Structure 1
């Protein structure tokens, strides 16, 4: 991107030196042409303006206004600048169209994998929300699911490190393992281990992930189980803690024994024997979310105050209405510019 400006400065240095007899007109005409290839319309306009300024400066410095060559150079520079501006706009439009198409395909693939949760799951009412960041063509690695089983309602929310194809593959593997194991494994810990093992097996498949992503990748995950008794059981593998809203106050259900994300099982020295249990009585609301929610920033670089936003929403709202109000609060906070994908599941405990 700096090449056009470097050429312009080189021409200026030549014209202001004893070597000004060198014909530099074609070099200045190339400045807006090169800018059209590497920059947008604004960059092309800036490069053309710089080339014109240099041409005027050198013609005045060398007292060359009486030469017909100067006017010929100006005409050539003007024609090339106009053509470069039109080309840069066409290139920008085509690139934006291609990016939007790739983005739509990626979001469609994400929608197939991340299906909305049912509105009623046994002892809870539920709702889910997934928002794409809206920048770039690569979707993130957020995942969620909620299913009703004979053991109670089992849920997972997770975040695969990275974006793009590798992240989506890991999301599909983790969700496939959860959807299968959630119905057959007696213990929630076994369901989490099943997901971890599935990710490790997929990592061993040649060509499944690129080597760099394999060396750096891991998945944070939170699993929750809501049985018929008024409790919620949690297993947290490096994920943001869920938030419990009850009687207008929000409580973060922090893990007593923090565990590393999936993929970092070697760091576990004392595996837990059972999930951690917390009271979850009728009238309570439990929010599971990804870090894209709490790490969303405004123009002052302040994080989104999720607990305060939850407490400000009326208790008479349904789960879909509650998530929609959180969505609007998040959009207002970031002014519509999400830096990361967002996924949330909200469940209401029924009597």
Structure 2
């Protein structure tokens, strides 16, 4: 209604003004304004209405055939047509963008599948914050596989950003999902992941000169369902946190392995060792990428992860990550400079009729 009101006001003022006042060319404001919030059809309709108003003004003020009025009609018609054409092009590009975005989102969901909320006695929560605008994933990754012995998880961080990092993440995720069920031990599984990524990077090196500078820090975790003992192999990744009875401890690895993809040519399993830990009932294991601990506030201070999660240690995985996500974004002022991924795993207590097993 605003463009229509503008046309009416401009036409009335022009008709009742003196012979030296010509407001007709201002009618182009109506289709231009319409194009800012409406589609081509409404823009065209308002443009036709503006041209009609200009013809009416000319008829009431000396005749349509006068040179001045002819030029005004031509000008309003030409500019209205141009505005309509630009509106059509904008609509076409928006449809293309929506289609591309839907394809990208589908691909991202396939690549980074949501983790189940519960597997056996384990309660699981996760979140992913991508630094890139309009993106759901970037160079961080995580995945879960359920095996006969329990649950295996991987979390990792690809060196670099952009499409190359997403490709490297996809390669490692595919290798993990393929090999998680084939190898009995974490060293064997990690060696298989290294072999797969190195083969991929060797093929990539034929066309990408930076392929030999790419690697992935990661942690692979084994969590049996029937015992409290767990194991992990750390390949150059920030150490997990263990939340127990309101206290937070860091699971530092005494013998971390190098990141995956360095391809140093050593014989597989020997360089990978398993660090064991206990995950008892109500304990929470927190896995994260360096985008969390390296997140900076506007004053340059890093995010104090261990200190903050201690406030929510007894909340359970979902509530813990809800508070952590909000607090992390508040710390950085709403926008991360790097991707951030977090997984929280709690071993739920087991209840039996008349018994409680901790």
The alignment's TM-score, normalised by the length of structure 2, stands at 0.65
Note closer, same or farther for the CA distance 1:214–1:275 as it changes in structure 2 (3 Å cut). Answer: same
Report the equivalent of 2:217: 220
The question of whether the paired residues in 1 share the 8 Å contact of 2:158 and 2:168 is answered with yes
Q: Within 5 A, what are the aligned runs for 1:44-83?
A: none
The question of whether the paired residues in 2 share the 8 Å contact of 1:220 and 1:239 is answered with yes
Report the equivalent of 1:337: 335
2:122 is aligned with 1:117: no
- 1:162 alignment partner, SS class: coil
Counterpart pick for 2:255 among 242, 251, 257: 257
The CA deviation string for residues 19-69 of structure 1, in whole angstroms up to 9 with x for no partner, is xxxxxxxxxxxxxxxxxxxxxxxxxxxxxxxxxxxxxxxxxxxxxxxxxxx
Q: Within 5 A, what are the aligned runs for 1:100-249?
A: 106=104, 108-135=106-133, 140-205=138-203, 210-227=207-224, 228-249=226-247
Note closer, same or farther for the CA distance 1:313–1:273 as it changes in structure 2 (3 Å cut). Answer: closer
Structure 2 distance, partners of 1:326, 1:104, is: 29
Note closer, same or farther for the CA distance 1:201–1:267 as it changes in structure 2 (3 Å cut). Answer: closer
The CA deviation string for residues 142-168 of structure 1, in whole angstroms up to 9 with x for no partner, is 110122211221110001111222211
Structure having the higher Rg: 2
The question of whether the paired residues in 2 share the 8 Å contact of 1:243 and 1:307 is answered with yes
User: What displacement does 1:175 show?
Assistant: 0.8
**How many pairs does the alignment contain?**
257
Q: In angstroms, what is the RMSD of aligned CA positions?
A: 2.9
2:292 is aligned with 1:293: yes
Report the equivalent of 1:51: none
- 1:140 alignment partner, SS class: coil
Note closer, same or farther for the CA distance 1:301–1:106 as it changes in structure 2 (3 Å cut). Answer: farther
The question of whether the paired residues in 2 share the 8 Å contact of 1:140 and 1:341 is answered with yes
Q: Within 5 A, what are the aligned runs for 1:31-50?
A: none
Note closer, same or farther for the CA distance 1:110–1:182 as it changes in structure 2 (3 Å cut). Answer: same
Note closer, same or farther for the CA distance 1:137–1:273 as it changes in structure 2 (3 Å cut). Answer: closer
User: What displacement does 1:332 show?
Assistant: 0.8
**Any unmatched runs of 5+ in structure 1?**
1-92
The CA deviation string for residues 98-136 of structure 1, in whole angstroms up to 9 with x for no partner, is 999977765553332111111111231111111111458
Note closer, same or farther for the CA distance 1:320–1:103 as it changes in structure 2 (3 Å cut). Answer: same
Structure 2 distance, partners of 1:273, 1:296, is: 29
Structure 1 distance, partners of 2:343, 2:211, is: 28
The question of whether the paired residues in 2 share the 8 Å contact of 1:162 and 1:217 is answered with yes
Note closer, same or farther for the CA distance 1:168–1:210 as it changes in structure 2 (3 Å cut). Answer: farther
User: What displacement does 1:314 show?
Assistant: 5.5
Report the equivalent of 1:282: 281
Report the equivalent of 1:328: 326
- 2:159 alignment partner, SS class: strand
The question of whether the paired residues in 1 share the 8 Å contact of 2:132 and 2:138 is answered with no
Segments of 4+ in structure 1 off by > 6 A?
A: 96-104, 267-270
User: What displacement does 1:313 show?
Assistant: 1.3
Note closer, same or farther for the CA distance 1:267–1:259 as it changes in structure 2 (3 Å cut). Answer: farther
Structure 2 distance, partners of 1:268, 1:197, is: 11
The question of whether the paired residues in 2 share the 8 Å contact of 1:240 and 1:290 is answered with yes
2:307 is aligned with 1:308: yes
**Any unmatched runs of 5+ in structure 2?**
1-89, 350-358
Report the equivalent of 1:34: none
The question of whether the paired residues in 1 share the 8 Å contact of 2:125 and 2:317 is answered with yes
Note closer, same or farther for the CA distance 1:182–1:194 as it changes in structure 2 (3 Å cut). Answer: same
